[in-house]
Amino acid sequence: AQSVTQLGSHVSVSEGALVLLRCNYSSSVPPYLFWYVQYPNQGLQLLLKYTSAATLVKGINGFEAEFKKSETSFHLTKPSAHMSDAAEYFCAVSVPRYSSASKIIFGSGTRLSIRP
């Protein structure tokens, strides 16, 4: 079975500072990995995805994540935080299948706050 663990339910950084949100996964087969962002009273928006191509994945809004198989990690980073980045962030995993889609398993989320 697959799972993800997000370290830190709440992260607070100053505007302009580095953002680092941690995610570790567990999967018996090579997984697909995702980061989603959720703003209040909204659905989830895909930030970026890893699908077994390049290990450094660039997403929207200046975010990127690096797949590290040896560490089973997929941490999300952004060099300089902006006030608009304040939201809930979810790491997620799925197992690719050839004949059908596969459910996405989400972590419990990390709330990112930005200090002026």
Partner 1 sequence: GAGVSQSPRYKVAKRGQDVALRCDPISGHVSLFWYQQALGQGPEFLTYFQNEAQLDKSGLPSDRFFAERPEGSVSTLKIQRTQQEDSAVYLCASSLEKVTEAFFGQGTRLTVV
Rule CB under 8 A: which residues touch partner 1? 32, 36, 41-46, 49, 51, 90, 94, 96-97, 100-109
Minimum distance between the CB of residue 7 and partner 1, rounded to whole angstroms? 14
φ, ψ of residue 89 in degrees (nearest 5): -120, 135
SS3 84: helix
φ, ψ of residue 61 in degrees (nearest 5): 60, 25
Minimum distance between the CB of residue 53 and partner 1, rounded to whole angstroms? 11
Which residue number, 1 or 116, has a Cβ lying nearer to partner 1? 1
d(CA 14, CA 29): 38
Which residue number, 17 or 51, has a Cβ lying nearer to partner 1? 51
